[in-house]
Amino acid sequence: MEQPYFRKISALIVTLLLLSVAVKEGAEWYFVHRVLDLRGIKELSRNFINGELGRAVALGVVEFEFPNHVFIEDLKISSEGDFAAQHLILRANKIELVLRGLWKGTPSVKAIRVRNAQIYLDLEDRISGEILGYIHKINIPEILLENTTVTLVKGGKVLLEEVRGVDFSIRKDGNRINVGISDSVFPWPGLRYVNGTFSTDVGSKGMSLALDFRNARAKAIGGLYSELSPLLPRNGRISGKAFLEVEDGILKGNGKTEFSTVSGIVMQELPLKEEPWEWRNVSLDHEWARSSGKDGTYKEYHKLINNEDSLELSREKGTKGLRNWELKLDVSDLDRIRDFLPISEQLESFGGSLRLLCKGKETGNSNDWIQLESGFTLKHFRWKDAELDLEVKEGSLNWDRNGSFRMEMIGSQFGFPARWTSRGKAGFRRAFKGDGTPYYQVQGDFDTELKTDSIVLENYLPWYKRTRQEVREEVRTRMEKLIPEIHFVRTPVYKYFLEFLTGNLKIDAKELRLKSELPNLGALALNLKFAPSQSRLEGKLSGVGEGKLSSYFTYGNDNPYFNFEFEGADLPWKLASFRFCGKDLTPEKISAKGTVRFFGNNFLDFRDHFNMNLQEVLFKGVHWSGNANFPLPLQPGFDMQFEYGDPGNPMLKNLVWKSGNFNGTGNAYGEENSDLRYSVTGFTQTTSGDSAFTISSVPFYSKFRETREICVPE
């Protein structure tokens, strides 16, 4: 049976609850109707933001919640004076105002709490430099932004990209504003963690920022990172600490970061390379320090450490705007840092040790802008890919501040012993591109020599094929997109390396082969002499065969001209060199004279103004593979002589065949884009069985048409 006192207690509790609800509802009604003007709060907020910031603002419902909270829903602040651009600098679903002084009838805001806000701020926008002044002006002791998403840009560059889940605690202490930055309480392993402080005095140009962060997304913070270093991270994770301080317009900062499988680019332009310097999946430590003044001066220091390898870079810009730098590189195995270098991923072999010291400074003299003092040592270097097989057992370079240098390398190319030496004097001029950015042209004079046991041309054929393909693609792209051709004298190759440089390049090889399995053509001696706007190449083959090359290039005007003259006698060949009646002809030896000329201001012009003439071409001991359908009585080992001209109609002239007892001469003719036709006259000789004397001579005449596969009698 239910006890009477229990029933009384239950009734009392229910009564108290009802009274509490009534008091709460009554208090809310009182504050809303007698103390607070919610409509006025909404209008006051809108007018303040619109008037002070000069931006359009939209506010949703404003509600009061007992005992001292006002909620504002759907706050939006536009980047413009209206919402036409549909670009917001702040968006928050709900803002909480914590009030004080309600019971005294003088309510004021004690704190503001903003949850799940999205902030998009451009540092070149006026509002970014006045935010702290607005915070000071509204005179609210505490502002909390919880679970905030921040995007920070500077003009067109993204510094912070949607950094999510960050809490900001903004507190005022007189004229000083302190900001706490965090996203979690503890740095849990493997998870993101940010903890930091920012402080400044309102009206001053001083500030300090300290950050401790773990596993930050490189893509999100890469832009800001590149403002303080020459590195722009794009993917991966970054951890570390950073400290920045500004006092009287002077910035000082330092930090240490750890890259975990980070990819990105180096903010350094490379000559002749349009693509940026990219690195891939790099893990290293980066120590840095930077200071800059109001007059544009700066000092910075960077040290990258990867196991035993390190790179140190110091840079400085003085009051006259001139820069100087010092670079130190110490790598015990280049293969360990290959992912950081702008090299192909297709390398089969790459390695070696390198020690480098390079000091440089700008002189202020445009004709001798950079003064260098440099040197390096290279040991057991190896580079092997589809286009190059190079080894340097020992290499060194010394470059003094007067520009005199000497380099020596001992190693091999494609497995053949080689030695490279270079000496001379060089410097760098300053010039300007069309957009006003400076670039630096090599000037001076040098002598470079390569001595090697053997050169096999087949090894360097991929270079030719790649260059040919690049030229074809460039011509096709320009034709398809109607892009104007660039004159050679305006190309980076000419501007960087050819406009003010003179020198000699000598190549001496004990033997020259077309392919490794083919006979030695003889000893090769090449000498390339070049000066601004023109060059001359002289070459000679001696020993097994005889040959010479003489060429002349002019390229200092809008119509570069190239001329090659060559001749060879009894050069061992054994390489398929001519197609006749569907068969590839392979001569034992070749003799010929010829010229190649072309001119123009771009690659398309070179093709259109190409001219090649071959005279006294003689194939000796010609063989072929498979069955032949020659309409001439040719036997293996025959000789063939002709002349060739391109352009020409016909290209072949004055043909002569000698095969055993057969001698014939012929003419080729044909219309453009049609099969070539031949008319051949000659005779066959019969000799006595006991001697080599001719006892009869039978005339021979034949006409035939040549297709790609066969010759058809007519």
pLDDT, tens only, 659-672: 988 999 999 887 66
The two beta strands, 500-513 and 438-456, are parallel
**pTM tops 0.85, yes or no:** no
Structure confidence at residue 26 (pLDDT): 40
Q: Are 447 and 504 in contact (CB under 8 A)?
A: yes
Buried b (16+ CB within 10 A) or exposed e, 10-38: eeeeeeeeeeeeeeeeebbeebeeebbeb
- The answer, yes or no, to whether residue 99 has pLDDT greater than 80, is no
Q: Which residue has the higher pLDDT, 697 or 84?
A: 697
Structure confidence at residue 27 (pLDDT): 38
Residue 259 has a CB neighbour count (10 Å cut-off) of: 25
Average pLDDT over residues 241-254: 90
At 362 the three-state DSSP class reads strand
Average pLDDT over residues 593-613: 83
pLDDT band, residue 464 (cuts 50/70/90): confident
Q: Which residue has the higher pLDDT, 414 or 26?
A: 414
pLDDT band, residue 51 (cuts 50/70/90): low
The two beta strands, 142-154 and 118-122, are parallel
CA 34 to the chain's CA centroid: 68
E strand or H helix that includes residue 47? helix 38-53
Q: What is the pLDDT of residues 508-537, one digit of tens each?
A: 999 999 999 999 999 999 999 988 888 999
pLDDT band, residue 65 (cuts 50/70/90): low
Average pLDDT over residues 356-378: 95
Q: For residue 418, which of 542, 508, 553 has the smallest C-alpha distance?
A: 508
Lowest mean pLDDT among 82-86, 203-207, 676-680: 82-86
Q: Which tokens is 145 given?
A: 């932004």
Q: Which tokens is 651 given?
A: 């290209």
The two beta strands, 534-542 and 69-78, are unpaired
CA 346 to the chain's CA centroid: 16
Structure confidence at residue 502 (pLDDT): 95
Q: For residues 595 and 84, what is the distance between their CA atoms, to the nearest angstrom? A: 69
At 627 the three-state DSSP class reads coil
HEC-encoded secondary structure of 305-356: EECCEEEEEEEEECCCCCEEEEEEEEECCHHHHHHHCCCCCCCCEEEEEEEE
Sign of the CA dihedral with 290 first, then 291, 294, and 295 last = negative
Lowest mean pLDDT among 54-58, 235-239, 526-530: 54-58
Q: Which tokens is 160 given?
A: 């912070």
Q: Which residues contact 212 (CB under 8 A, 6 or more apart)?
A: 193, 194, 195, 196, 241
Please give the share of the chain, as a percent, with pLDDT higher than 70. Answer: 85
The DSSP code for 81 is S
Average pLDDT over residues 362-381: 94
Q: Which residue has the higher pLDDT, 247 or 1?
A: 247
Backbone angles phi, psi at 458, to 5 degrees: -60, -30
Q: Which tokens is 157 given?
A: 């560059």
pLDDT band, residue 322 (cuts 50/70/90): very high
Ranges 106-115, 310-319, 677-686, 690-699, most confident? 310-319
Q: Are 685 and 604 in contact (CB under 8 A)?
A: no
Average pLDDT, the chain: 84
Structure confidence at residue 60 (pLDDT): 77
Q: For residues 554 and 531, what is the distance between their CA atoms, to the nearest angstrom? A: 10
- The answer, yes or no, to whether residue 350 has pLDDT greater than 90, is yes
User: For the residues of 227-282, what is the DSSP string, one character each?
Assistant: HHSSEEEEEEEEEEEEEEEEETTEEEEEEEEEEEEEEEEES--BTTB-S-EEEEEE
CA 675 to the chain's CA centroid: 48
Please report where in the chains the tokens 């504003």 appear, as a residue.
177
Q: For residue 557, which of 581, 533, 541 has the smallest C-alpha distance?
A: 533
Q: For residue 657, which of 632, 677, 674, 678 has the smallest C-alpha distance?
A: 632
Please give the share of the chain, as a percent, with pLDDT higher than 90. Answer: 44
HEC-encoded secondary structure of 536-570: EEEEEEECCCEEEEEEEEECCCCCCEEEEEEEEEE
Q: Are 168 and 145 in contact (CB under 8 A)?
A: yes
Q: Are 588 and 574 in contact (CB under 8 A)?
A: yes
